[in-house]
């Protein structure tokens, strides 16, 4: 016997089918939306990746060009600083380089030189002296013939680490030194290094803050020296006369270490800044990368009034 369906049954069945179809269409729409978002995110990720790869290539090119330019000159005739620009692919690169010899080396500078820098950067003299003492203690090996109290100071301060008691491995390690205020560390980083190992700085390229920190320098001496610096060239006698009592920790020896700052602007408007420290070598190994940092903030080197140490 063939079952009979009334109109109500048929309408209910048709309604069920329509609801099912609508659910399927909704699910397909959701899947299409998810897939669209996935494609968009993937495209953005690939674009970012491509930009990062291109940026790395541009920074590498800037380092290569800097090293090539510097190695064209004899060591005693190399420029201590300079700049150039070039365009490659979708990026425009502005490159500046400066000798690392103009920075105060955390592993080589005297306690007084370090204290003076911290004082110039805002610490009062008593605090600056204490910070400098801790910096020197951080880099100094423990003495075998006496009690070593430096690690106990860190334990007493509740720190979970002890001083390195060996040379600084990185300038940012300064933030680990007992008592150093973070803001003071940030102000000091543009003027210090760990790569030269020198006790002196190249006064012909050093920043005004570094000149002011020279032991024996006076406020008037800073102003006078900066006015005369461009005319002093390599005349040791003239430099010594211009510095007066501050000449002890001043030098003019050429460094083979340079800091290369590359600012890249892409057609999309994106801007990236990288800083690479290199040591120049010979024909077989033109240079060695000592440090590479991306997404750095360029330091304003504009005129500032500073006082002497």
- What is the pLDDT averaged over residues 256-262? 97
Name the band, by pLDDT with cuts 50, 70 and 90, for residue 47. very low
| pLDDT at 28 > cutoff 80 | no
Confidence (pLDDT) at 51: 76
Which H or E run includes 257?
A: strand 257-266
- The per-residue pLDDT for range 74-132, each reduced to its tens digit, is 888 899 999 999 998 888 999 999 999 999 999 999 999 999 999 999 999 999 999 99
User: What does the block give as tokens for 203?
Assistant: 């006064």
What SS3 class is residue 242? helix
Name the residue among 126, 306, 304 with its Cα closest to residue 219: 306
- Cα-Cα-Cα-Cα dihedral of 24, 28, 33, 38, to 10°? 130
Question: Residue 298: which pLDDT band, with cuts at 50, 70 and 90?
Answer: low
The pairing of strands 104-105 and 192-193 is parallel
pLDDT of residue 307: 46
Read off the pTM. Answer: 0.79
Whole-number Å distance between alpha carbons of 54 and 33: 31
Proportion of the chain above pLDDT 90, given as a percent: 58
pLDDT at 24 over 90: no
Q: What are phi and psi of 203, to 5 degrees?
A: -70, -15
Query: For residue range 178-203, what is the model confidence (pLDDT) as tens digits?
Result: 999 999 999 999 999 999 999 999 99
* Residue 62: closest CA among 214, 296, 245, 262: 262
pLDDT in tens, 161-182: 999 999 999 999 999 999 999 9
């Amino acid at each position: 016997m063939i079952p009979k369906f009334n109109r109500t049954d048929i309408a209910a069945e048709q309604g069920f089918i329509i609801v099912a179809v609508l659910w399927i269409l909704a699910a397909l729409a959701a899947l299409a939306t998810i897939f669209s978002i996935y494609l968009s995110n993937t495209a953005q990720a690939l674009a970012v990746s491509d930009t990062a790869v291109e940026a790395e290539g541009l920074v590498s090119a800037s380092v290569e060009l800097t090293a090539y330019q510097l190695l064209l000159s004899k060591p005693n005739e190399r420029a201590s600083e300079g700049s150039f620009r070039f365009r490659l692919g979708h990026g425009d690169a502005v490159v500046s380089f400066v000798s690392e010899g103009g920075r105060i080396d955390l592993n080589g500078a005297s306690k007084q030189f370090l204290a003076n820098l911290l004082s110039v950067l805002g610490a009062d003299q008593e605090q600056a002296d204490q910070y400098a003492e801790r910096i020197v203690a951080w880099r100094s090996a423990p003495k075998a013939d006496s009690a070593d109290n430096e690690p106990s100071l860190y334990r007493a301060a509740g720190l979970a680490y002890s001083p390195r008691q060996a040379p600084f491995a990185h300038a940012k390690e300064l933030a680990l030194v007992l008592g150093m205020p973070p803001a003071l560390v940030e102000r000091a980083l543009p003027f210090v290094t760990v790569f030269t190992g020198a006790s002196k700085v190249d006064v012909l390229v050093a920043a005004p803050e570094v000149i002011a920190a020279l032991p024996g320098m006076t406020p008037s001496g800073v102003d006078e020296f900066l006015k005369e610096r461009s005319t002093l060239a390599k005349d040791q006698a003239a430099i010594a006369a211009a510095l007066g009592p501050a000449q002890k920790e001043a030098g003019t020896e050429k460094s083979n270490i340079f800091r290369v700052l590359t600012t890249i602007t892409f057609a999309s408007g994106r801007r990236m800044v990288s800083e690479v420290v290199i040591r120049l070598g010979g024909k077989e190994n033109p240079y060695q990368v000592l440090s590479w940092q991306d997404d750095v903030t360029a330091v304003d080197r504009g005129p500032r009034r500073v006082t002497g140490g």
